[in-house]
Structure 1
Amino acid sequence: MTQASAAPKADRRRHDREIIALAVPAFGALVAEPLFVLADSAIVGHLGTAQLAGLGVASALLTTAVSIFVFLAYATTAAVARRVGAGDLQAAIRQGMDGIWLALLLGAAVIAVVLPTAPALVDLFGASDTAAPYAVTYLRISSLGIPAMLVVLAATGVLRGLQDTKTPLYVAIGGFVANGALNLGLVYGADLGIAGSAWGTVIAQCAMAAVYLVVVVRGARRHGASLRPDAAGIRACAQAGAPLLVRTLSLRAILMIATAVAARLGDADVAAHQIILSLWSLMAFALDAIAIAGQAIIGRYLGADDPAGARAVCRRMVQWGIAAGTVLGLLIVLARPLFIPLFTGDAAVQDAALPALVVVALAQPICGIVFVLDGVLMGAGDGPYLAWAMLITLAVFTPVALLVPTFGGGLTAVWAAMTLMMAVRMVTLWSRSRSGRWLVTGATR
């Protein structure tokens, strides 16, 4: 083997080690997050149907509120990673502190909105008269933990930017265990009912935020970074996150439109759609873990003024995305006869879901490319392009999806439209990655 041929192989192995080291813990942390809601549902479910229904409505509202601000993690990861690549750890942690201060301000604003409007929000989501009081109780108490939830997002972004995805995994596991224990103790031991579940979640989230703050503050003191809020830095974080907020809202709109169209097709179709959407979200966790690695690694390479290295690791991550998507697609095809009966015995729901799952399986390699390139461009700080690309995708998807009830095809056609949506995203992201315009080097973009 010549030195010329050995060098690329060595680079690929090095990239693979970096990707695995960041992606595997990130996947564990991502999976741990929805387990909070799952544990709450299992505990509250034994209180009664009305309580569980109330929890479902409140959780949907809380999840939506928090997911809108996921840019706190994404933008912070990219900004911190750039400064790590530039060798300026003090500035990296200072950047992270600006993101955490922004999270606290946004959290306080959300509380100010949610507390007085909780009954109206619950009513907007269609809660029944029996479930609404429980939903309002859970929403009002849990909203007190939103600042902590947003701090967790921002601090997770700081650690990812510092190339550390293990600490978020440990914190997520600890938070899940604490949440379960607190919920059991407060719901049944203290006989607080659904309010106990809400308080347990708030306490667990605050404890997680406290752990993150201890880790970040220690790093700040070690490298001489200021902990004080900096108005200019906070404003810069908000400006960097604004395009990612547009991207996230556009994606949420696409998912809501797909669900609304499925609902118009009938009860069996919307039930099958919910099952498939749950599986699709689970697959997304696996692919998003690679994207998170992309955010951290790409930001570091560009911060170190190494565009060639950034291109090389981008190519390798795309290969990882295609491979992961192909494996996930095969698993869906093989497991679909076993997977659907776990959720329903209704033959009509199964008949609607099975062909749609084939479409979802075929789309997974496309999803793999999309998630990876999305992470790469986030790591490069290319938020404005991501916002415009998602708006274009929304504009293409919306009329196609809305025409499904007119032209027929049922739920399979809905998921064909979702596949078209991912294909449009792939084209926009692929063209950007090929252009090289995202390869902006330096400690700041």
Structure 2
Amino acid sequence: MQDIGAPSVSLQLCITSLNKLPLFVWFLKQHNSEFGVSDMAEKESIHSFGDWRRIPICTFFQDARLVFKADSLGREILSIALPAAMALTADPIASLVDTAFIGQIGPVELAAVGVSIALFNQVSRIAIFPLVSVTTSFVAEEDTLSGANPQTEEGRCLEAGQPTDTETKELLPQKGGNVHNSDFVGESFNIAKEERKRRHIPSASSAIFIGGILGLIQAIFLISAAKPLLNFMGVTSDSPMLHPAKQYLKLRSLGAPAVLLSLAMQGVFRGFKDTKTPLYATVAGDVTNIALDPLFMFVFRLGVSGAAIAHVISQYLISVILLWRLLEQVDLIPPSINHLQLDRFLKNGFLLLMRVIAVTFCVTLAASLAARQGPTSMAAFQVCLQVWLAVSLLADGLAVAGQAILAGAFANKDFNRATATASRVLQMGLVLGLALAFILGTGLHFGAKIFTQDANVLHLIQIGIPFIAVTQPLNSLAFVFDGVNFGASDFAYSAFSMVVVAILSIISLLILSSAGGFIGIWVALTIYMGLRAFAGFLRIGTGSGPWEFLRSS
């Protein structure tokens, strides 16, 4: 007969199974106080059935209940992500207004400027993405290690037994003391404070140096090769678009150094976890662009040249604002050329260049395959693609936040903070993707007529809407995973995994587009984004590369 005081074998198995469930662990943690369980007993209980946390894949579910909670980590992520997303959306909005003004001149000029902008952006993208991504991570690492954060400085002073700012103020002569000594000490204190405020971040100097050089190279290249490049884009020598397109491209290329410099400085500010300064500068520049467009185009009768000049002025304004703010915080002049980390930038920048080419090739191939199916298919594809890419800017804000926080955490070897940040931004990305899927799935059915009145194009857009909506969670996760990998300085994996994803996606595009036409292209793009998300998931989920600590924690 079984002993009544001992649990049965089946009951033991049941308890063992429950102990492996994350929900059960959370329930016990929440209600231990109600059951009168002590803190020590709770820790022992959690430790006894917390083995599930050792599995790297469980990182994605860590503290999932906090995804909507405005705790310190959540507030920090949102304080970086929201301004970053707003800054990223400011330029497309300004471009739409720009396009509306140019459209008032005529359809030929509108088409010509469209080709020139596409060419300029394509060339710029090759340099911009690697430069900004590498700069953000490196600056965040150096800023963290230099202890530039006031809280970090105070903590280090306390640990070393040195006086903090508060203690220093108490040592200064108070009212009624020696005025001359007080002035001298106060002046010395202000000088010391100013010196400490402006610090030297080698990566910031390197980024601006490289950005300026790349901007000059881009300007020279586009100005000198404007005609053959436009011919390559389909603007033939006898086309009426050639003259306005060449005119616009050459003038706009004068702003290339400002574009590269401003984006390099945006990467620096992102590394400082400051996305508000770039937002203010971007808005100021875009408002200036919108204000100058009608003045130069219609009052001074400069046409498309006026639009290009307005844009160039706005870009230099953004650069000046960012440089002014940056000089207040950083000493940008390095002691010598050896202090510039050019080799580190170039090595990782080249890896991300591979990645950019792989990404660009996939999307460009999809557009090319849609164009081969006729103007109706191409028009519908362009509308769907622009919506598909535009909403991704919101996820990019989360990616920027994750990258900046993670880079600092890895620099400090604070793996608990790294794990918490990665899981939180990924969970927030998934929630964002699900919300966008619902909004786009319902809204586009009613709002498609905003883009066109053509019945055939609208029919294809309706076919593409389910793909746009369903892929939003995948898109959000893929973009946030990019930020997570960049924050861990895992640039090699990001590059080579993207090349593999691109190869598989190109094969699926070629096969499915020939078999399924317009639908086949979108099925292939869904596979493409799914593979991108899976590549990011695989790195953390297996606890490999910089995430090896997940298997031993």
TM range (shorter): over 0.9
Match of residue 91 from structure 2? 33
The answer to whether the 8 Å contact 1:80/1:92 transfers is: no
Match of residue 56 from structure 1? 114
Rounded to whole Å, the distance in 1 between the matches of 2:249 and 2:74 is 43
Query: After the TM superposition, which of the residue ranges 166-175 and 177-186 deviates more from structure 2?
Result: 177-186
Displacement of 1:122 in angstroms is 1.0
Q: Aligned to 2:201, what secondary structure does the other structure show? A: helix
1:290 and 2:348 matched: no
Deviations 1:71-97 (A, max 9, x none): 111110011111222234477732111
Paired residue for 2:479, among 363, 371, 374?
371
Rounded to whole Å, the distance in 1 between the matches of 2:511 and 2:146 is 53
The answer to whether the 8 Å contact 2:130/2:349 transfers is: yes
1:347 and 2:405 matched: no
Match of residue 215 from structure 1? 325
Amino acid at match of 1:18: E
Amino acid at match of 1:425: R
Rounded to whole Å, the distance in 2 between the matches of 1:227 and 1:193 is 47
The answer to whether the 8 Å contact 1:152/1:212 transfers is: yes
Q: Aligned to 1:130, what secondary structure does the other structure show? A: coil
Amino acid at match of 2:524: A
Q: TM-score, normalised by structure 2?
A: 0.75
Match of residue 168 from structure 1? 278
Structure 1 pair 238–440 and aligned structure 2 pair: CA distance change class (3 A): farther
The answer to whether the 8 Å contact 1:261/1:404 transfers is: no
The answer to whether the 8 Å contact 2:402/2:425 transfers is: yes
What is the 5 A alignment of 1:226-245?
Answer: 226=334, 230=338, 232-245=340-353
Displacement of 1:225 in angstroms is 6.5
Match of residue 503 from structure 2? 395
Q: Aligned to 2:274, what secondary structure does the other structure show? A: coil
Displacement of 1:62 in angstroms is 1.0
Match of residue 162 from structure 2? none
| Percent of aligned positions that are identical | 29
Displacement of 1:439 in angstroms is 4.2
Displacement of 1:321 in angstroms is 0.9
The answer to whether the 8 Å contact 1:175/1:204 transfers is: yes
Deviations 1:30-71 (A, max 9, x none): 001223322221222111222111110110011111211221
Rounded to whole Å, the distance in 2 between the matches of 1:438 and 1:61 is 37
Match of residue 291 from structure 2? 181
Match of residue 414 from structure 1? 521
Structure 1 pair 153–440 and aligned structure 2 pair: CA distance change class (3 A): farther
Query: After the TM superposition, which of the residue ranges 270-279 and 10-19 deviates more from structure 2?
Result: 10-19
Deviations 1:125-157 (A, max 9, x none): 112611110010010111110011001111000
What is the 5 A alignment of 1:25-424?
Answer: 25-69=83-127, 70-89=129-148, 93-127=201-235, 129-221=239-331, 226=334, 230=338, 232-408=340-516, 410-424=517-531
Displacement of 1:232 in angstroms is 4.5
Amino acid at match of 1:358: P
Displacement of 1:405 in angstroms is 3.8
Rounded to whole Å, the distance in 2 between the matches of 1:360 and 1:438 is 33
Query: After the TM superposition, which of the residue ranges 12-21 and 96-105 deviates more from structure 2?
Result: 12-21
Q: TM-score, normalised by structure 1?
A: 0.93
Structure 1 pair 313–436 and aligned structure 2 pair: CA distance change class (3 A): farther
Displacement of 1:243 in angstroms is 1.0
Rounded to whole Å, the distance in 1 between the matches of 2:467 and 2:93 is 27
Q: Aligned to 2:372, what secondary structure does the other structure show? A: helix
Amino acid at match of 2:533: M
Match of residue 429 from structure 1? 536
Displacement of 1:422 in angstroms is 1.0
Deviations 1:148-186 (A, max 9, x none): 100111100000000100011111110110111122221
Displacement of 1:311 in angstroms is 1.1
Match of residue 192 from structure 2? none
Q: Aligned to 2:330, what secondary structure does the other structure show? A: helix
Rounded to whole Å, the distance in 1 between the matches of 2:289 and 2:343 is 33
RMSD over aligned CA atoms reads: 2.2
Rounded to whole Å, the distance in 1 between the matches of 2:244 and 2:378 is 25
The answer to whether the 8 Å contact 2:124/2:218 transfers is: no
- The structure with the greater share of residues assigned to helix is 1
Deviations 1:203-237 (A, max 9, x none): 1101111111112222124xx86387557523322
Amino acid at match of 1:143: S
Q: Aligned to 1:338, what secondary structure does the other structure show? A: helix
Rounded to whole Å, the distance in 2 between the matches of 1:390 and 1:91 is 36
1:16 and 2:74 matched: yes
Rounded to whole Å, the distance in 1 between the matches of 2:295 and 2:455 is 40
Structure 1 pair 174–347 and aligned structure 2 pair: CA distance change class (3 A): same
Rounded to whole Å, the distance in 2 between the matches of 1:406 and 1:337 is 27
Tell me the number of residue pairs that the alignment of Structure 1 and Structure 2 aligns: 437
Query: After the TM superposition, which of the residue ranges 16-25 and 30-39 deviates more from structure 2?
Result: 30-39
- Structure 2 residue runs of 5 or longer lacking an equivalent are 1-29, 34-38, 44-61, 149-197
Displacement of 1:261 in angstroms is 1.2
The answer to whether the 8 Å contact 1:79/1:92 transfers is: no
Rounded to whole Å, the distance in 2 between the matches of 1:429 and 1:304 is 23
Rounded to whole Å, the distance in 2 between the matches of 1:389 and 1:36 is 34
Amino acid at match of 1:206: Y
Rounded to whole Å, the distance in 2 between the matches of 1:421 and 1:175 is 35
Rounded to whole Å, the distance in 1 between the matches of 2:342 and 2:298 is 42
Query: After the TM superposition, which of the residue ranges 86-95 and 425-434 deviates more from structure 2?
Result: 86-95
Rounded to whole Å, the distance in 2 between the matches of 1:405 and 1:239 is 36
Q: Aligned to 1:381, what secondary structure does the other structure show? A: coil
Query: After the TM superposition, which of the residue ranges 159-168 and 14-23 deviates more from structure 2?
Result: 14-23
